[in-house]
Amino acid sequence: MSKSRKTINAANAGSKPKRRWLNIGPGIVLALAISALIGSQWIKTEVAARRQTPAPPIVERQVISSSYEEKSGPTPEVGFIIDRAAKLHITDSQLTHLKAMCAQWRKFYGPKIVAANRAAEKTNSYLAGAQGRQRTPVAQIQNAAAPVIALSGEISSARRSYWDRAIKILTPEQRKELQSEREADWAARQEALARDRQRAGK
């Protein structure tokens, strides 16, 4: 084979698209499937609320981009305010508006939350099975995570919209107290997560 033919073959070989692979280990999460920061949040369904037990967490596409969000975590549901009505000195009129918003949220987004939880369970099962294989194509992980990312992104965006509407009902003093409540709640969640990780590492 001539030198020029060898050069051409080498160039062609180098131009072939390479398939990307990932080793699936015990610590892999859906964050591997997207470039944005993925935040996990506990979401309570109607049944779980009645039982006073948290539903399984769904993975949500929520970028924490500001110091405000870093301190207080992902945006809660309007129910967060209702649960603290006494502490925030919420008036009867305010509470009526907040409960109406909460009912509307559950009506339109309750089914989507259930669907997102189911999609997350399916994706988690896929990832658990992938741990038994040495390498898994990145594209397969992305495809498995796509339904969760789409649904959770929609839910996260809508929740922020409802939250923005809710806090407009509050007075400046109530908003300030609410922010303190959010920061305290987020700090408690982070501490609990750290304890769980510590116990898991033992």
The domain segmentation of the chain, as residue ranges, is 24-201
Segment of 5-19, 31-45, 48-62, 115-129 carrying the highest mean pLDDT: 115-129
Please report the pLDDT score of residue 173 as a whole number: 98
Please write the tens of the pLDDT for every residue from 152-183.
889 999 999 999 999 999 999 999 999 999 99
pLDDT at 20 over 60: no
User: What tokens appear for 69 in the block?
Assistant: 């969000």
Tell me the one-letter amino acid at 196: D
What is the pTM (predicted TM-score) of this model? 0.61
Residue with the bigger pLDDT between 179 and 122: it is 179
Is residue 62's pLDDT more than 80? no
- Number of Cβ within 10 Å of residue 165's Cβ equals 13
Buried b (16+ CB within 10 A) or exposed e, 54-86: ebeebbbbbeeeeeebeebbbbbbbbbbbebee
Q: How far apart are CA 91 and CA 51, in angstroms?
A: 27
- Residue 146 DSSP SS3: helix
* Per-residue pLDDT at 28: 38
